[in-house]
Structure 1
Amino acid sequence: MRLRQYQVDAFADRAFEGNPAAVCQLDGWLDDALLQAIAEENNLSETAFFVAADGRFALRWFTPVAEVDLCGHATLATAHVIFEHLAHAQPVITFVTRSGELHVRRQGRLLEMDFPAIAATPCALPEGMLAALGRQPLEVLAADDYLVVFASEADVLAITPNQAWLCQLDLRGVIVSAPGSEVDFVSRFFAPKYGIPEDPVTGSAHCVLTPFWADRLGKTTLTARQVSRRGGSIGCTLKGQRVALSGSAVTVMESELRF
């Protein structure tokens, strides 16, 4: 079998920034074990697979070790492929996913994703987290991931987490965040139990970060920067129970899978 695959840097204005994702179009769904094997072979934080059906696109996301319920950067990358390489004529793409219908709208050079807003609930600091992160947070909340809030961007940049400890977490991973010096807020994301020691840019984390910082800062339109080594910028707007996340993407590779 041969399949066309694209590698796209999402939340990036040029190659080798943002978060790389592999995107693969299928005529129909392959066995889940094969999809997982392809994702493991790619060894990127996410591989996205999509199938066109009735004007919409069924979409699934796999890390190197597991399928996930929601992934922002791989959704952005997939929309980029459909618009740029498959010449999709409509201004909006509808994806059918494990997190419901997701819509991506083309707005000039930017792609805007319509995602669910996810509320994080205050919780106690998990035992061992202080030592694992190496500094005292202002507060800790929980949703699909822990959200750990610090006083400054410098605190977030200085963290070198204990990856072995993070692998034992009951939740998916840890978002660390603080007010930004040049943007409204910054963040980093760690999920080693899913094969992602540090994700370069995490769209799904901003489903949590957007309502959190909108409440703290008293504004619904925010600028964000994920301050990983590669880095990436995200426009965030809270719209009731939804968030609009916007960014650009760049294709860096086209290849053919053979198996």
Structure 2
Amino acid sequence: MSGLSGRTALVTGGSRGIGRSIARRLARDGALVAVHYGGNETAAKETVAGIEADGGQAFALGAELGVPGDAAALWAAFDEGLERRGAEPGLDILVNNAGITLPRQIADVTEEDYDRVFAVNVRAPFFLIQQGLGRLRDGGRIINISSGATRIAFPRTVAYSMTKGALDTLTLTLALALGPRGITVNTVAPGIVDTEINPHLKDPRVRAELASFSVFDRIGQPSDIADVVAFVAGDDARWITGQYLDATGGAHLGV
């Protein structure tokens, strides 16, 4: 536990699934991790308890995303959490992981659906970054969790895929803007991952079909994504910025 020792990380949507695995991995590498949750406080506290049981440091903070004032509320909770722990103010690693899905083709997407998915998946991380730049230390890391759906066409998730494409553009633009401060900005794009957000994976036939997307013929695990995030968050990735790191297991290569 030395690679991220002395650093503070915030993982949005860190209470479950990929976010939980990222939070636990960063804590294992030595970071103090703020585990954000939108509504499931119990899951966030379980994540924190797991981190502490492993000898790491973490605290939970709640803030609903996709609503007016969400960024200000989250940062206020973050600052309060650091103060409560007696930790130094500031941030070294921001992982924008929180998001919602919208498994609908274009004909079935309502205006309300569209506005909601963009509010959570695009507007929230945009203003979290904007209002967090004063807290983010020089040499810090911003890591946006996107999706392989920005590389591979999935008509049944069209609006969701568009939100992740917006994050990819945000990554590229901010990498140039924040370079003078030594801050790297990168995208990590998962493919099909075995989390509670994909309950259809319990069907053996569906699981086999989706596993076949990857050149490794298996479904991704949250730890597969967390390990990539941990690399980008660490010093070994200091010369990597503005990049889209495909973490889909080689899904649909050659198709």
With the shorter chain as reference, the TM-score category is under 0.3
Comparing both structures, which one devotes a greater share of its residues to strand? 1
Q: Which structure exhibits the higher relative contact order, with contacts defined as CA atoms closer than 8 Å and separated by 6 or more residues?
A: 1
Greater percentage in helix: 2
